[in-house]
Structures are given as C-alpha cells and as structure tokens.
Amino acid sequence: MTIGIETPGKIIAVHLNYPSRAAQRGRTPAQPSYFFKPASSLAPTGSTIERPAGTELLAFEGEIAIVIGAPAKRVSPEDGWAHVARVTAANDFGLYDLRAADKGSNVRNKGGDGYTPIGPVAIPTDGIGEDAWRVRTWVNGELVQDDTSDTLLFPFGRLVADLSQHLTLETGDVILTGTPAGSSVVLPGDVVEVEVDAPDAPGSPTTGRLVTTVTQGETPFGDFGAKPNVDDLQRIEAWGSEAEHANAVAAGRATPLEGAPDGPLSTEIREQLSGVAVATVSAALRKRGYVDIFIDGVHPNHEDDRILGTAKTLRFIPFRPDLFQSYGGGFNAQKRAFDTVNPGEILVVEARGVRDTGTVGDVLALRAQVRGAAGIVTDGGVRDFAAVQEFDIPVFSQGAHPSVLGRRHVPWETDVTIGCGGAAVQPGDIIFGDHDGVIVIPPHLLAEVAAEAAAQERADAWIAEQVAQGAPVDGLFPMNAEWRARYEAETTAEPDTSATP
C-alpha cells in the first residue's frame, strides 16, 4: 500500500458530499462536516474486517481518498487542490449498531480495527484535475456504487481550504471525501472491492481494487461500555432505503423490520381488532394515560374505510423559497416516502394542520396503492380528490384542495418522529382508523390494548342486546356487579372464540 507516508498523522472523513447520497439521506448540507478516524483503523488490500458478535449492521462506504503532499494552512479553495499529491481508494466501514453510542463522533462505530482499508496504489495527481476521478464499489462481484468527483457538493480543493482554516494539514494526511449512493450492509463471507481511477486521464490510471473480506467475530462486547442497539430506522439507513432493506429481507440477508407483517401486527391481533371500533381502543389507551393519541381533523375519503398498519412518516416544513429550491425538486422527501412505502404501512404526513394546500395527489396515492400501502393519513389537504376517491386505498385528510406542492410546504424528511393532527407519530407506531377518526397506538401496548378492546367490544355488544330488549342503562352501562355476573355466566356458557384465529 502506497499512500505517501507509512502512517498518516490525521485521517479526516467527510459526512455527506455526493448528491446521490444526500438524496438518500433526505438532507443536503450547506457546508461540509467531518469526523476523525484513528490510524489504527487502517488496513491494506486483502485484509479482513470483523463484524462484532451480537451486531447486524456493518456497512461499507467506497470513497475517494486524497493525500496531502504539501502542508496547507489557510489556503483558498482555488489553491486547495494543489496541496493534494495523490489519490487512492478507501472504504469507510461503519457499524450502525453503535451509531447512537457516540452522538456523531463515530469513535466506536467507525474507528474499529480494519475499518479504514486504503490503497492498494496511490495515483499521483500531476496533470489530473480534481473533477476527473471515479469511484466504484463491488460486493461479491456486483457493481453497487459508481460515481464521479465532478458531482461533489464540496470539491476536493474546497475541503482542503475549509479544513486548513482550522488546522494545519500536513504531508501524508488523508481525507476521505464521502461516499455516493449505494452504500449498504455486508455480511460475514461477503467480499467488498473499491477502485478509484481517472478514466479520461492519459493512461487511465487506477488504484486497482481494494479488497476486504468480512468475517464473523466471536467475542461479545463487555458490560463496561455501550452495547449494540438497533432499531428499524437504523436498519433502513444502513441498507440504504426501505426498498433495499425489503429486498435484503426477501433474500434472507436482513432482519425484518419490527413493524413488518411478522412484527407487532400479528394475525391474531388483526383478528382481534377486525370488529373493534377506534373509540373502544382509544378508551383502553386512555386508561393507560394516553390521551393525546388522536389525529384530529381528518376524515376518510370512503364512508366505510378502516385502516390498520404501521406508520411510515413524512414531514413538511413551512414554505420558504430558498429551502424549496434545495429540497423541493427532484427525488424529494415526498416522492421518496411514496416510492418506498412497504406493504402494510400507512403513510402519515405532518402538514401542520394546514388544510388549504394539497399534500398528496392522484399519482402519489396510486403509487402508494400499487406498493401495497394500507392507507394514507395527512392533516393537510388532498389534491385531485375525486380521482383519489376512485382508488381503493383509504385516505384520511382534512379534505380537498387543488394546490400543488410549493404553496405552503417544503418536503423535508421521512422516517422521523412527526406531529400529525396533534398526535406524536413515530415510524413503526400502529395507526388505527375508522369513520370516528384515527388514533396512534404505541407498539409496546398493542397486544394488551387489542385484547382488552376486543373483550370490551364483545361486552358492549351484549349490553346493546339488553338495552334493545328494554333494559335500563343505569347499572348496565357500565355494568355493575349484578350485570357483570349475568354477563359472565351467559358468555362463558358458550365460549366466544371470535378473538382467536
């Protein structure tokens, strides 16, 4: 491995730099941001990287690494590239299971031994411009990343200039310049290869392929430090998108989301809730202190619609021209949400209760239906309301409005905690709705609430029968001890099996 000196004094990595990656993440930074990687994380081509015991989300990031040739202190962006002597390939491995442990410093999730393979050859930059480079990554022989430096949000010279404002970049220092779209999770036995080249330069110089093989670790983390912690959001980010994660699940390479069909919404729970009213479930939640679980102000586009599914969230922020210019076009957060919703999920949209603008129209509603979404809930308006009403997918909203995106909202981010109709909604929460309204059920309460609500619904049906036969409601609704004894005697005589599959 040739990188200018045997061990660089500093290894600095950029968080987000490729537009393709920024689009995946749903945010485009105005300025670059960085973190350090330890020299002990360096590894040559042909090395192995261990996925620690008890973890699942080790991800690769193929990158172009630039090596400082002449020290840089307070240089300009125009002069920054002149301080780069060589370019090579790098792989910025990260363990998403430990992302929460360091709150952005990445010490543990990106600083492990072997987490920065680099090489095998460093290409001299003489006569080659900063926009002439290409990075490609293969996993088990399949090309998964392919991008070029002329697309960067922050060109190499600007990175050098920015960093040199704060610290002296010394000969041999290495800067990892960001990864493009396509970064994903690798499993033990997988082989990852990264190559950087300058295909249009004389001789088409190349680093050759930087090869790393993933192995399985056997030693668990001790109790004297942060333990691995994974949730659905980490899984989605690590795999790149919900669609990629779903494909990995189908291929047997990934753990299903907790909100997936084999997660909290089991067949038994769906059966229990099939004949239960939202009002009954809300009463069970109220007993447990959950009183602000109503998504207020929304109504179904079909009279008899019911929805039950796990939440996928989309957040709009108030309109501002400069932000809309940066976030409103292209494959924005709104399009990503509708293009990646999974079967059984319900798209929940935070529109801040603004009803005088559309937040979903016929094309996006149709896309959600085709992808198998269980419904859409927005505390804003619906465009093309009549057309959307013709679709099968249930849509709960504040009603019709003809405006297009860009009047009151900027599509901002997906898969985050939002506020919709006065209720907090997290990805994976259970969304349950009927003509009375829509409520949010925390997943950890789902089983007990569903069982209690199903039992209460049966009791309410029995009470209604007694009232229909002339019984007064005093003492019956709610049931006193006498009525309760009569109810239990009658219902246990012929066991009710409606709550079992």
Spell out the residues 6+ positions from residue 127 whose beta carbon is closer than 8 angstroms to its own: 201, 202
What is the distance between the alpha carbons of residues 194 and 28, in angstroms, rounded to a whole number? 25
- Read off the pTM: 0.57
pLDDT average, residue stretch 259-278: 77
> What pLDDT sits at residue 5?
53
Position 126: which residue type? Answer: D
Q: Which of 334, 327, 357 is nearest to 415 (CA)?
A: 334
* Residue 305 annotated as part of some ligand binding site: no
* Residue 384 annotated as part of some ligand binding site: yes
* Residue 362 annotated as part of some ligand binding site: yes
Question: Residues 192, 60: contact at Cβ < 8 Å?
Answer: yes
Spell out the residues 6+ positions from residue 273 whose beta carbon is closer than 8 angstroms to its own: 281, 308, 432, 450, 453, 454
Q: Please, how many CA atoms are within 13 Å of residue 181, restricted to the half-sphere of its CB?
A: 11
Position 499: which residue type? Answer: A
> What pLDDT sits at residue 488?
82
Phi, psi of 232 (to 5 degrees): -60, -40
According to DSSP, the residues that pair with 434 across neighbouring strands are: 437
- Residue range 11-243 in CATH 3.40.50.300: no
* Residue 364 annotated as part of some ligand binding site: yes
Domain boundaries, the chain: 11-243, 291-441
For the stretch 152-203, pLDDT in tens is 999 999 999 999 999 999 999 999 999 999 999 999 999 999 999 999 999 9
Spell out the residues 6+ positions from residue 29 whose beta carbon is closer than 8 angstroms to its own: 15, 16, 22, 153
From the centroid of its chain, how far is CA 172?
Answer: 36
Please give the full DSSP string across 90-115, using - where no structure is assigned: EE--EEGGGHHHHTT--HHHH-STTS
* Residue 363 annotated as part of some ligand binding site: yes
Q: Are strands 134-139 and 142-148 parallel, antiparallel or unpaired?
A: antiparallel
pLDDT average, residue stretch 467-477: 87
What is the distance between the alpha carbons of residues 359 and 401, in angstroms, rounded to a whole number? 9
Q: Which of 288, 411, 307, 290 is nearest to 359 (CA)?
A: 411
Question: Residues 185, 239: contact at Cβ < 8 Å?
Answer: yes
What is the distance between the alpha carbons of residues 96 and 101, in angstroms, rounded to a whole number? 10
What is the distance between the alpha carbons of residues 419 and 289, in angstroms, rounded to a whole number? 19
Q: Is the dihedral of CA 14, 340, 424, 290 positive or negative?
A: negative
- The CATH fold of domain 291-441: Glucose Oxidase; domain 1 (3.50.30)
For the stretch 331-382, pLDDT in tens is 899 999 998 888 889 999 999 999 888 899 999 999 999 888 999 999 999 9
For the stretch 31-84, pLDDT in tens is 999 999 999 999 999 999 999 999 999 999 999 999 999 999 999 999 999 999
Q: Please, how many CA atoms are within 13 Å of residue 369, restricted to the half-sphere of its CB?
A: 15
* Residue 304 annotated as part of some ligand binding site: no
> What pLDDT sits at residue 316?
95
Question: Residues 396, 299: contact at Cβ < 8 Å?
Answer: yes
